[in-house]
Chains A and B, each alone.
Chain A
Amino acid sequence: MLLCTTNSWSQVNADKKSKTEIDRERQLIREEIQRYFGYETLPIRYLSLPYDASVNSNIESYYVEIGFLLLMFVPIVLMLGFRKKPVYGIIIMILTVLLALISTANGTLIKNKLSRISLIEDADWFSNNFEKETVLGAPVDNIIVSIYKASYNLYQPIDRFLLKFSGNFDHITYPFLLLFFLLGSFLLDKYLKNKRELVQIIGMSALVFAFLWLVFSAGIIWYGYLIISLLFLFLFAYFSKNSKKGIVQFFNYTFISIVIIWLGATLTLRISNIYQIDQSAGVHIFDAPIVKYQIGAIEPTNGKRFTQENLIQNYFPGLDQALKGINKNDNLVYSIGTMFPYFIKKNNQRLFNDNLLALFQVILNKYDNDKVTVTKVLKAYGFRYILVNLKLYRVDKTPEKSVQQKYKNFMNYAYKNPELSLIATDRIVKGERGLEYGLFSNEIKSEGSYAIFKIK
């Protein structure tokens, strides 16, 4: 009887375990992968993807930026292609306007100094502050904000309607997307009707690829590079063949001019290479430590050439010394969102990645945030080092800000933890002896990017 009870209890526990694990994984995916996809009403996440991918509504950075050429010209080319069958052209136009409306209403704008605001999430802020302050830097911002606001107002009835059938999850999105594909394939088939058979085949195949990418890739742009490259060729093929006189030639000149402006803009973007606005903004076409390494610069401090170790020291002050300790033996290393696996020997065997603190939060909860016990639990398992990314909270795009909360909990755990000693960080704080490397202080001079703790 007791045995049965114990077994049953174990089974219940096992079930609980797996559920906890599943929930943890789901939350992790929601935070990590779906930030590229957005968190709008479910069908809208898919429909706004082309726009989001072009203007970086969900994630803002160079690595997701594909520019405006495709967004601007693909609908135009499709409409122009249906000049002889205007009904299809009108369908394309209506669809484009509808998608633009949905996407801008759910989109984001740059506030200032590269920080972002969303009409959906920051509606109050918009209505209270935008009229009073000049918050945006670029000259056309007033127009853009007006368009976004108008879209937002027009979108509200659509959203209310959608919320009757949908929300965060639903039954309708997959069937709806399939219908959308059928409409798309019908229009593309009509568009390619007079083209060579192989062009039709590749066009229609590309549509299947594009659809699968949009539905199953959660908005990760680089999974769809193939379709982007083909769309570029498609655009240039269209304008290349229509160089007759008249209005078509005007379109061609406009297209070429915009492409050349785009090339200038992207080259400027690359040369200025701006990540933050300060006095040195616009200088960093290259990284200084890398250039020093490339040209074999002589260090004035020791008269020796700039080496790989100097380079690591330049990027992450103090890391080199810490790495020597970490790489001396095969102890386990707990990494929280850091970029350091590359530097750690046998990292595939001894480094545990808890990128968004999913497991750590579970452990903290399990031991009621008892920092000493948690550290002892980790030590008992063989962990000797904890590496943390001090900018981790920035990746959080979830509406509930779950990563930020977990990050805060971790910092509380690390604060005055008698079982941990900080062995390296590049954060600069104002301490008792003036400016120094450290984590906690009333005055943080430089946020830094990492901290390494040794478990005592």
Chain B
Amino acid sequence: MSYYLYLITSVGGRAGFGIAADYKERNKQYASHSGDIVKFSFIYQGQRSHAKALERTIKTQFADNIWVVDDWKTEWLISDVPMSKLQSYVEELINERHYKLELLTTDYDFTQGEVVNG
């Protein structure tokens, strides 16, 4: 069963990340909470353990870029770190560390339904 790592752009333009078994449902939840359509700028598909390992790596080794509010480490980046930097970091990790994940789609929101072959 596939698992997904998504890179999200908030309504305000902040870059973030997360993992999900059901990317469509997860995207819908973001829309519900933010009151707007929210884009998953990139969705990677692959092995669950590798998606989780990659997410953990972002949290630990990309720590200087994580947005921390009141000592709470969020799954969003500080505002001056663009999505392009997060995406190239993720690509680098996948290529260099051989994580079994591949790009499924870009610029996704739940209104698009399931991605073909997703």
A and B form one complex: no
Which residues of B are in contact with A by a Cβ distance under 8 Å? none
Residues of A within 8 A of B (CB): none
